[in-house]
Structure 1
């Protein structure tokens, strides 16, 4: 059964910051936030304008046969120059966005992708797959000067659900489908992919696949990998199309080669993905703890139980206060359950009782969902009218990237990074990050920094801590400060054998940590794969391999 193309929204994306241009904090809100962080600027930096950038003419022109797919409009090119990490926002605010692509291409089918790659290879043009542009690890920008020109490859014109197999609960979907559009096309079939990263509104299926993105499920199916049946990938060496199978033991998986390859080995053009019925029953609750170590033990017990909560996010006291989910020194555990066919209130109560047995305290009443269609807003389980802490966290979750950009306008460092490690390393890792990154920020700025932590995903054998860093910046030198703090954090992660990224991807920002983490024989095989599939080295140069 074929899908239909969803009409684009009329709202305008911010070229320099997160999300919608009309959703950013105004000057007064920026000043109010800056007042809470000593050492920030007295007034916000102005919102940057494309007109103030020095954008050179394109170094190449597309051939007439491809001209209808390519644009060289300065605003379009500037919007495709970077992702949405703090360092990207800070550079844009200072008028230093880096190398702006010469051209932006929007192919409408797979043949267009192949033709663009052929042309780019012949002309020594680097091709950077863009997805939705929500990268926070330097994954969608070109750094260096080894290529004569740069083409940003935007697949959002390829955003259709092409086929739905209702019996097998799967769909064939083009890689350029943005999260909301994808869910809108599945809704008439009463099915959902239900993969909701925080960037859901502004990221694509292809981007999720290329970065092995984490979704909203805190346990079980935490990554997009778990939903993939097969992939189609266009490479300079040809098109790879794997069989659609429920499972296979036939050698190394071809899909695994391209999942997480970040556009360095090929361009993912479509995928068969596993779907599920839309959840009708939801329930959520919050449990607070005075002792963070007790909270960690409670979460580990939940992860090792058979309860499988959809949401099991632990916010330390600082993160809970920042989200408005609790005050003082109490950590908050946000729990959520959902199901398409049976009420989940009893499972929630079992989870709450387990958390209480580790010293937790229950505040408020259970929020239980009725027989409504599942939400597609990119948020974990929860229903209106639930715990105040759950509602506060949900609101902060959606608003936080915009507030980060507001703090960046005040010259502050406001960024996040995440990792994963086994349970035996988690307490020491969290303490080391808080202590060492905080000390580095104090030494660099003379002002104390805030380093908060939450657990976003939990497993029987470990967890994924997610850190928030808030610090006064150094006027005009904010990016260098963040790079220094990032290096300190990376050293701590490596020392504790924690991954350089759990779900944010490697990009260019995490390459040093990734190079240290991966085994050398694997690196050798990856370089060989790069050479075989992309012999001219045009695909996202600098990502994963040189």
Structure 2
């Protein structure tokens, strides 16, 4: 298939916080949002500048053969120093970044990854694989002093769907592909991966694989390993490539070593993953509960039924109020069903009846008409999946 430039390639991420640098809320919006959160600061803090960080000079320099892939720009190094946990954002606001990468590399293909790993091994340089940088567990942050220098290996230049098998419903995708770019490239084929972690917009397929990410869907394929057919991984000992074959019970699965390994065993460069037709039949409802325990019982009944909701998410009173879903102290159960094959409003009705039997009150419901083709924006579809 012809290569296309991913939509996100021309935008710049915030180095210190979540989102795009050109999409930050202004001061008035920050103050208004802060008013909804107990204990928040009465005024916004100034946006930190990388020029004020006084970063140390890189402890190592890339060879001429790799110079086209490597940068030592202070802003780039700062942006790759940590993830996006609340703790990380606070540290960035205060300019306390810890060990900052000496260099940032952006390989363009698998051979680039292998060349960078070989050089790093020879020079005692630690390599930290980096996808979207959305880790909230310290997965992209180097800790310790066992290495001479640190190289952040940013894979987002490897962000394309390379091949689609419409008959087998699978796609071969590079590991640096961000969630929205992945869905946008599958859309012309009428297909979707339909894996939507909360970090969807700013995380990559490789990151999902390396962390065994869970998506928003309540039933069915809920973790990324459910989608995997095969992997390619560059390791210090060479390239691991698994076969795209039906599931086998003959001994341990090599892919399982890399899924969830957080990049410690190698750099995932691409994967064959299962995809599916885009859903065209959808129905959803919100059910309010005065008592949270009653809402929990409703979730249990729905989960143990054979209804298989795509979305079954319970918001407590605080979260429901902050989201604007309820302002009267009620908990809110959000239910959703979807299918590429036939109407789902009957299953939604049964789920709502179960919730009502536990004391819930249906606040709203919708059953959009079936669409003649692929459904609209994948990001909108993922936002409601819980």
| TM class by smaller structure | over 0.9
What's the offset of the Cα at 1:301? Answer: 1.1
| 1:372-406 per-position Cα deviation (integer Å, ceiling 9, x unaligned) | 5224433457xxxxxxxxxxx95xx9xxxxxxxxx
Aligned residues of 1:228 and 1:273 also touching (Cα < 8 A): yes
The equivalent of 1:265 in structure 2 is 265
User: Which residue matches 1:377?
Assistant: 378
- Asked whether the 8 Å contact 1:198–1:378 carries over to 2, the reply is no
CA distance in 2, matches of 1:35, 1:360: 30
Structure 1 residues 343 and 37 mapped into 2: Cα distance closer, same or farther (>3 Å)? Answer: closer
What SS class does the counterpart of residue 164 from structure 1 fall into?
strand
| Per-residue deviation, 1:73 | 1.1
In the alignment, which residue of structure 2 is the partner of 1:406? none
* CA drift at 1:53: 0.7
Within 1, Cα distance between the matches of 2:379 and 2:198?
A: 7
Distance (Å, rounded) in 2 between the aligned partners of 1:344 and 1:255? 35
Describe the shift of the 1:315–1:40 C-alpha distance in structure 2 as closer, same or farther (beyond 3 A): closer
Q: Which residue of 2 aligns with 1:89?
A: 89
SS of 1:363's partner is: strand
Give the secondary-structure state (helix, strand or coil) at the position aligned to 1:128: strand
What per-residue deviation string (whole Å, max 9, x for no partner) do you get for residues 324-349 of structure 1?
10122211100111111211111111
Distance 2:37 2:160 in 1: 45
CA contact (8 A) 1:133 1:202 kept: yes
Q: Which has the higher helix share?
A: 1
Partners of 1:345 and 1:368 within 8 A in 2: no
Check if 1:202 corresponds to 2:202.
yes
Displacement after TM superposition at 1:138 (Å): 1.1
User: What TM-score do you get using the length of structure 2 for normalisation?
Assistant: 0.95
| Residue matched to 2:179 | 179
Alignment partners' CA distance in 2, 1:283 and 1:156: 35
What does residue 256 of structure 1 align with? 256
Q: Mark the CA change 1:36 to 1:308 in structure 2 (over 3 Å): closer, same or farther.
A: closer
For structure 1, the residue ranges without an aligned partner over 5 or more in a row are: 382-392, 398-455, 457-546
- How much has 1:82 moved relative to structure 2? 1.1
For 1:384-399, list aligned pairs within 5 A.
none
CA–CA distance in 1 between the matches of 2:347 and 2:288? 18
* Matched residue count: 385
> In structure 1, what is the equivalent of residue 21 of structure 2?
21
| CA distances 1:23-81 after superposition (whole Å, capped 9, x unpaired) | 32322333344445565444322110111111121111111111111111111111111
Q: How far is 1:245 from its partner?
A: 1.8
Contact 1:3/1:185 (8 A) holds in 2:
no
Bigger shift: residues 259-268 or 360-369: 360-369
Question: What SS does the aligned partner of 2:314 have?
Answer: strand
Distance in structure 2 (CA, Å) of the matches to 1:274 and 1:84: 28
Q: Cα offset for 1:275? A: 0.5
Higher relative contact order (CA 8 A, sep 6+): 1
Alignment of 1:214-293 (within 5 A): 214-293=214-293
CA separation of 1:187 and 1:32: change in aligned 2, threshold 3 A = closer
1:2 touches 1:161 (CA, 8 Å); kept in 2? no
CA distance in 2, matches of 1:10, 1:2: 19
Q: Determine the structure 1 residue equivalent to 2:143.
A: 143
Q: CA deviation at 1:5?
A: 3.8
In structure 2, the residue matched to 1:329 is 329
The residue number in structure 1 matching 2:211 is 211
**Superposition map of 1:3-152 within 5 A:** 3-37=3-37, 39-152=39-152
Deviations 1:430-475 (A, max 9, x none): xxxxxxxxxxxxxxxxxxxxxxxxxx5xxxxxxxxxxxxxxxxxxx
| 8 Å Cα contact 1:196-1:379 kept in structure 2 | no
Q: Quick one: distance in 1 between partners of 2:308 and 2:13?
A: 36
Please say which of residues 207-216 and 37-46 is displaced more in the overlay. 37-46
Name the counterpart of 2:352.
Answer: 352
Structure 1 residue matching 2:16: 3-state secondary structure = coil
The gaps in structure 2 that reach 5 residues or longer are none
SS where residue 312 of structure 1 aligns? strand
Instruction: Output the CA distance in 2 between the equivalents of 1:162 and 1:39.
Output: 48
CA contact (8 A) 1:214 1:223 kept: yes
Q: Deviations over 1:211-246 (max 9, x none)?
A: 111112111211111110011111101111111123
Cα distance in 2 for residues equivalent to 1:38 and 1:193: 38
Judged with a 3 Å threshold, the aligned counterparts in structure 2 of structure 1 residues 267 and 336 are, in CA distance, closer, same or farther, namely same
Structure 1, residues 175-207: CA drift from partner, whole Å, max 9, x if none? Answer: 011111111111111111111112111111000
Q: Residue 2 of structure 1 contacts residue 163 of structure 1 at CA under 8 Å; is this kept in 2? A: no
Matched residue of 1:229: which SS?
strand
Separation of aligned partners in 1, 2:36 and 2:7: 41
